[in-house]
Amino acid sequence: MNRMLLKMAMAAAVGSLLICTAAFSQTIPPPAKKAAHVEITQGPALEVARGDLAILRWTTNNPGGTDDHFAVVHYGTNPKDLSQTAKSHIRLNRFHQDTLFRVRMDGLSPKTTYYYTVTTEESNGKGDGEQSPVNHFTTPATGEIVAYPQPAAQSK
């Protein structure tokens, strides 16, 4: 009988440790230290395009701050009016030096040149302090899909 009580007590103790460990692992760590200077280290580049959508990608050093971030593209058909915005959520990995950002732009028109600039921001809307120069790309005709391994050309 005592042996049975001892086994039950041990099972309860182990179970409570597992529950505490699971609950502890759910805590949210404080924001990571912000990078002194965020810099776009690769891109931005057009990854793929078809008549009605495009995906842009770029890499920065890890900006730090809140883990929840957004990749942001401001774009339009006039380089002086980039009033359209596309955003994509990302969770930073604190253990990586660099972060790859990607944004899908929907509702584009075929055979149209789009101008854009990219940036990143924390989930609270505070920008990370970097922004690309204005670049451009042209969407292909309806039904065509084009993949671009090279960076998109910069406009002057």
Q: What is the mean pLDDT of residues 92-107?
A: 90
Per-residue pLDDT at 77: 98
Q: Please write the tens of the pLDDT for every residue from 120-143.
A: 998 888 888 899 999 999 999 999
Q: Does the structure show a pLDDT above 80 at 72?
A: yes
Q: Does the structure show a pLDDT above 70 at 35?
A: no
Work out whether the CA dihedral 33, 36, 42, 44 comes out positive or negative.
positive
The structural domains of the chain, ordered by start, are 40-147 (2.60.40.10)
Residues of the chain with pLDDT > 90: what percent? 46
pTM of model > 0.75:
no
Q: Does the structure show a pLDDT above 60 at 115?
A: yes
Give 61's pLDDT tier (boundaries 50, 70, 90): confident
Residues of the chain with pLDDT > 70: what percent? 74
